[in-house]
A and B are shown apart, each in its own frame.
Chain A
């Protein structure tokens, strides 16, 4: 149980285009999903917290107009990188927190990641 999927697993796009990444909780409902960015050989940096039915909360320094997050249902959150540029190339990882665990163990389940390469 507690499986999180991401689609696509990798994507290559041209500079200036937009890319959408999906994060799904397959066997549980998630009130909260998180989006992280990871550069090679570095740790995960939280980009934003996504709550179902409300606006995402972005971390300091993350452009909300650049990284659009939509959490339309309890099993799906999407991250859209708008007008992508080479510096947006990175490994994007999402995680989901099961319904009912908020304020409890805070455990998150991670997706396998999406590698974005912008040419």
Chain B
């Protein structure tokens, strides 16, 4: 069975500090990997995704994630966070040719303090 583990439930950081949100997955088949962000009382927004090709993927707002197949990880990083990055972040995997069903991690609450 497939699973996604986000190792940190809460990550408090100060503004302009770097941050890493960790994500590990378990799967016997190839997967697509996603990071979603959720602001309070809102749905999910896609932050970035890994489908194939370059293992380093970037978002338009400065986040990046690197797919590491040997470590089955897809950690999310940002070199300098803003107050506006405060949100819940979810890592998810989707199996090849499985109709798009997403398996989510438990979520990491990023709290950026001034």
Residues of B within 8 A of A4 (CB): 43
How far apart sit A4 and B51, CA to CA, in the bound complex (Å)?
Answer: 22
Which residues of chain A from 4 to 43 have a CB within 8 Å of any chain B CB?
Answer: 4, 6, 32, 34, 41-43
The reply to whether A110 and B43 form a contact with Cβ atoms under 8 Å apart is yes
Known: A42-B106, A105-B32. A110 touches B99 (CB 8 A): no
Contact of A105 among B36, B42, B51 (CB under 8 A): B51
The reply to whether B32 and A93 form a contact with Cβ atoms under 8 Å apart is no
Chain B, Cβ-Cβ closest to A4: B43
Q: B82-104 vs A: 1/0 string, CB under 8 Å?
A: 00000000100011111111111
Decide yes or no whether A115 CB sits under 8 A from chain B.
yes
Q: B interface, how many residues as a size bin?
A: 20 to 34
Which residues of chain A from 79 to 99 have a CB within 8 Å of any chain B CB?
Answer: 91, 93, 95, 97
How far apart sit A42 and B51, CA to CA, in the bound complex (Å)?
Answer: 26
Known: A32-B99, A107-B49. A112 touches B32 (CB 8 A): no
Residues of A within 8 A of B102 (CB): 34, 44, 46, 95, 106, 108
Residues of A within 8 A of B49 (CB): 105, 107
Residues of B within 8 A of A1 (CB): none
Q: Which residues of B contact A (CB under 8 A)?
A: 32, 34, 36, 41-46, 49, 51, 90, 94-107, 109
A-B pairs with beta carbons under 8 Å apart, 21 shown: A32-B100, A42-B107, A43-B104, A43-B107, A44-B44, A44-B90, A44-B104, A46-B102, A49-B101, A91-B41, A93-B43, A101-B100, A102-B99, A103-B96, A103-B97, A103-B99, A106-B100, A107-B46, A107-B100, A108-B102, A115-B41
What 7 pairs between A and B have smallest CB-CB spacing?
A106-B94, A106-B100, A110-B43, A110-B44, A112-B43, A43-B104, A97-B100
